[in-house]
């Protein structure tokens, strides 16, 4: 059994090691731990309808591995990439003060300019997710033309990892709020209380098998992509109050594990993440059946 103090020392050591080698950043928008993303993604692929191609449904482990990449892209030694990637992982809904979100990235950037908001401070997560889902639809369309092409299959699996990451970040309530790491101070700064990483760790703390998370899920393509993403974002943001009510009970107490209320919350978010990710896979597959590809894509 590890004490909290030991865990803190180990975490500090790990941070030091990863910064020292330039391998991975640890930041407030890290999202479900990388292991958490892998569990949720494997479960999401297992939960997809049988209508999706078998190369995809049998590739759950590879897709799960690729779901970590968007966090790796926030590497502090790669400043151009980190700058572009960081805001793709969150959207602080309160900063929009009730304004509705435009359908496209540049529509949103123009709206931010009119409202004198910095888009990279508000965050761009819904757009990263919609674009990733449409990229997957494009790759699926290619796979419909050349079902035996293993290069196209690998491309689909890689892009599915990106969809999974952003979909699951969106289901972590602290990725949708100014209160992303403690209640925001009057000057707008974050107190960085560490609650964000304690929530991130909950999926792995559940110790649940992907097959269990995939069971009894209702998965179907969404009617319209961006409205579905925005509805899910609002559902996630509505849980911010509950997250802070759970705060005193968040610490994992050795072998006793999670407090029941915390476990219920983590289960609900894990299942929502899996259902949402799988429904976006089903959406991309359905959309791919309607796409016209340029002639060159068939060669």
Q: Which residues bind Zn ion (CB under 5 A)?
A: 31, 89, 169
Q: Which of 31, 208 has the CB closer to Zn ion?
A: 31
- Region class of 98: left (phi > 0), else alpha (psi between -120 and 50), else beta: left
Q: Which residue is nearest to Zn ion (CB)?
A: 31
The three-state secondary structure class of 182 is: strand
In angstroms, give the least distance from the CB of 98 to Zn ion: 26
**Residue 217, number of CB atoms within 10 A of its CB:** 17
Give the angle subtended at the CA of 31 by the CAs of 30 and 34, to the nearest 5°. 85
Q: Which is nearer to Zn ion, 31 or 122 (CB)?
A: 31
CB of 40 to Zn ion, least distance (A): 12
175 vs 275, which CB is nearer to Zn ion? 175
CB of 215 to Zn ion, least distance (A): 26
Return the number of the residue (89 or 269) whose C-beta is nearest Zn ion. Answer: 89
Q: What are the backbone dihedrals phi and psi of residue 180, each rounded to the nearest 5 degrees, phi first?
A: -75, -20
- 153 or 172: CB nearest Zn ion: 172
| Cβ–Cβ < 8 Å for 107, 59 | no
Residues paired with 180 in a beta bridge:
182
3-state class (DSSP) for residue 71: helix
- 8-state DSSP, 180: B
Q: How far is the CB of 255 from Zn ion (least distance, A)?
A: 30
Gap between the Cα atoms of 175 and 172, Å rounded: 6
Contacts of 292 (CB under 8 A, 6+ apart): none
**Residue 36 or 52: which CB sits closer to Zn ion?**
36
Both tokens of 205, joined, read 């703390």
In angstroms, give the least distance from the CB of 74 to Zn ion: 8
CB of 241 to Zn ion, least distance (A): 22
Q: What is the 3-state secondary structure (H, E, C) of 20-32?
A: HHCCCCCCCCCCC
Query: Which C-beta is closer to Zn ion: that of 132 or that of 287?
Result: 132
**What's the angle, vertex CA 108, arms to CA 112 and CA 165, rounded to 5?**
120
Question: Least CB distance from residue 196 to Zn ion, whole Å?
Answer: 11
Least separation in angstroms between residue 273's CB and Zn ion is 12
Please identify, using beta-carbon distances, which residue of 92 and 169 lies nearer to Zn ion. 169
Dist. CA 286–CA 230, nearest whole Å:
20
């Amino acid at each position: 059994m590890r004490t909290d103090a030991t865990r803190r020392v180990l975490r500090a050591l790990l941070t030091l090691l990863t910064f020292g080698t330039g391998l991975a950043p640890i930041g407030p928008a890290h999202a479900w731990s990388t292991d958490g993303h892998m569990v949720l993604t494997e479960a999401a692929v297992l939960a997809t309808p049988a209508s999706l191609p078998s190369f995809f449904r049998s590739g759950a482990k590879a897709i799960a591995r690729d779901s970590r990449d968007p966090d790796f892209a926030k590497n502090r030694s790669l400043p151009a990439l980190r700058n572009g990637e960081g805001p793709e992982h969150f959207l602080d809904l309160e900063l929009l003060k009730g304004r509705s979100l435009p359908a496209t990235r540049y529509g949103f950037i123009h709206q931010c300019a009119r409202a004198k908001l910095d888009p990279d401070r508000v965050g761009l997560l819904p757009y990263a997710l919609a674009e990733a889902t449409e990229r997957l639809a494009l790759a699926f369309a290619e796979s419909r033309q050349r079902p035996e092409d293993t290069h196209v299959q690998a491309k689909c699996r890689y892009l599915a990892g990106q969809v999974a990451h952003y979909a699951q970040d969106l289901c972590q309530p602290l990725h949708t709020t100014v209160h992303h790491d403690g209640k925001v101070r009057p000057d707008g700064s974050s107190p960085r209380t560490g609650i964000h990483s304690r929530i991130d760790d909950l999926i792995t703390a559940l110790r649940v098998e992907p097959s269990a998370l995939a069971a009894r899920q209702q998965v179907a393509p969404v009617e319209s992509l961006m409205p579905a993403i925005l509805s899910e974002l609002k559902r996630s943001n509505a849980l911010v109050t509950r997250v802070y009510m759970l705060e005193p009970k968040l610490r994992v107490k050795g072998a006793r594990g999670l407090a029941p209320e915390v476990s219920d919350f983590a289960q609900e978010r894990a299942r929502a993440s899996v259902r949402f990710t799988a429904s976006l896979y089903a959406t991309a597959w359905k959309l791919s059946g309607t796409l016209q590809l340029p002639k060159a894509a068939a060669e």
